Amino acid sequence: MDRRSFIATGGLAAALPLLGTATAAARSAPMSDHVNFVSDGLGLSPAEYAAQLAHGVAAKDFEPDNYSLGGAIEQVERAFAQRLGKPAALFLPTGTLANHLAVRALAGEHRRVLVQAESHLYNDSGDCATVLSALNLVPLPADNARLPLDAVRTEVERAAQGRVPMKIGAISLESPVRRLGHRYVPWADVRALCDYARGEGIGLHLDGARLFNLPQHTGHNVREYTALFDTVYVSLWKHFNAASGAILAGESALIEPLRAQRRMFGSGLPHAWPLVGPAQRYLQDYEQQYARAWQAAEQVFAALQADGRLRVQRLPEGTSSVALTLPGQIDAQAWAAKAGAAGVRVAAPPPGGNSMLQVNATLLRRPPQDVAKILLAALVS
């Protein structure tokens, strides 16, 4: 579900009364038939999420965790470690902490960490790595999602040749990059960067919050990506419909000591199982569902293009997002409200901008032609 909605509506406190209802009802609870173009995942409502929790705790093998250890949390960690092709995985309540602990562990005594200037770690984490772990994040600017190898090499050499020689401890690569419309770093660039870093003895972290979308768009599977990196983070709530949470995976020697650090950073939650909720269930076939969603999306976009009033624009090296241009005379807020009332949720574009559509499995809830008709009908005042 949407993590912010879960918290805003009282989170688990709102869910607990619903968990007392009959398990059979929870299993058969209807899901919304709305198509949601503004979410990475299904955007479960609190009631839908609570029903899925009730279904999960009724399973014979369900066990709660104890301070984020064992039980359902351990099951999720094992499932993701296996899918990511890593020996060990650790649950963390946020991706911010996952990225932080990863670069902290990889850098060790070498305090400089190279990051993309548009990365989440550099822009959206409150300088946590600097303030809490004394790491020096060095942003390398670019006009696309890449972390340019020439810029990386220049920074490595510059650090080594200073009056006080320094070694780059780690490189963090985000792909897809949220701030750039979920654009991915091309495979050749990822390979070249990782090969160079390996030769220099630099630790490698992949901020793969939306990693499981990449195979659809690049032709390279999840394990091909994770094999190149020492650590990898994936979000549990973006694609896998958890209330919150992240998985950090890597070699056991790197991951296991972080269980104590998780608690040190105030994140050894007494009961974390309600947060992971349905994540393991959606992990099972996420990539297949995402591929089917894109098949449906292509039909929607073709219908919109054929009509001519709405223009779909693909982003270079794009993944889940496309830009939708509205006619200039249309009231964007009214258009979004009308589409939402008819069961297709879209974000109104900013003045002079585009509406960004997120492709996800909610597109499988309605025939593509119906979705296109709703978007077009909402243009009429």
260-270 pLDDT per residue, tens = 999 999 999 99
- Band of residue 32 on the pLDDT scale cut at 50, 70, 90: confident
Residue 21 to residue 28: CA distance in whole angstroms: 12
Secondary structure class of 183 (helix, strand, coil): strand
The rounded radius of gyration (Å) of the Cα atoms in the chain is: 22
Question: Mean per-residue pLDDT for 41-45?
Answer: 94
Check residue 197 and give its pLDDT: 98
- Report in angstroms the alpha-carbon separations of 278 from 107, 185, 245, 259: 34, 29, 12, 23
Cβ within 8 Å of residue 161, ≥6 positions away = none
Q: Does pLDDT of 26 surpass 70?
A: no
Torsion angles phi and psi, residue 235, rounded to 5: -80, 140
Considering the segment(s) 71-280 as one domain, its CATH architecture is 3-Layer(aba) Sandwich (3.40)
Choice among 137-151, 161-175, 310-324, 359-373 with the minimum mean pLDDT? 137-151
pLDDT value for 30: 62
pTM to 2 decimal places = 0.91
Work out the pLDDT band at 3, boundaries 50, 70, 90: low
The residues facing 69 across adjacent strands are: 66
Decide if domain 286-377 falls under CATH 3.40.1790.10.
Answer: no
Query: Does an H or E element contain 136, and which?
Result: strand 136-140
Is residue 11's pLDDT more than 70? no
* Cβ-Cβ contacts under 8 Å for 250 (sequence gap 6 or more): 86, 87, 88, 102, 229, 230, 231, 232
| pLDDT for the residue numbered 193 | 97
| CA pair distance 241, 281, nearest whole angstrom | 9
Q: CB 29: neighbour CB atoms within 10 A?
A: 16
Q: Do domains 71-280 and 286-377 have the same CATH topology?
A: no
**Structure confidence by residue, pLDDT tens digits, 103-152:** 999 999 999 999 999 999 999 999 999 999 999 999 998 667 889 999 99
pLDDT value of residue 144: 76
**5 membership: H or E segment, kind and range:** helix 3-8
Work out the pLDDT band at 253, boundaries 50, 70, 90: very high
Contact between 274 and 308 under an 8 Å Cβ cutoff? The reply is no
CA separation, residue 137 to residues 27, 109, 207, 273, 374 (Å):
47, 14, 15, 33, 46
Q: Where are the domains of the chain?
A: 3-57, 71-280, 286-377
Largest Cα span, the chain: 70
9 pLDDT band, cuts 50/70/90, is very low
User: Alpha-carbon torsion 108, 111, 114, 118, what sign?
Assistant: positive
User: Is it true that the peptide bond before 349 is cis, omega within 30 degrees of 0?
Assistant: no
Asked if the model's pLDDT at residue 28 lies above 50, the reply is no
pLDDT band at 328 (very low <50, low <70, confident <90, very high): confident
Is pLDDT at 232 greater than 60 in this prediction?
yes
Percentage of residues in the chain having pLDDT higher than 90: 86
Between 304 and 9, whose confidence is greater? 304
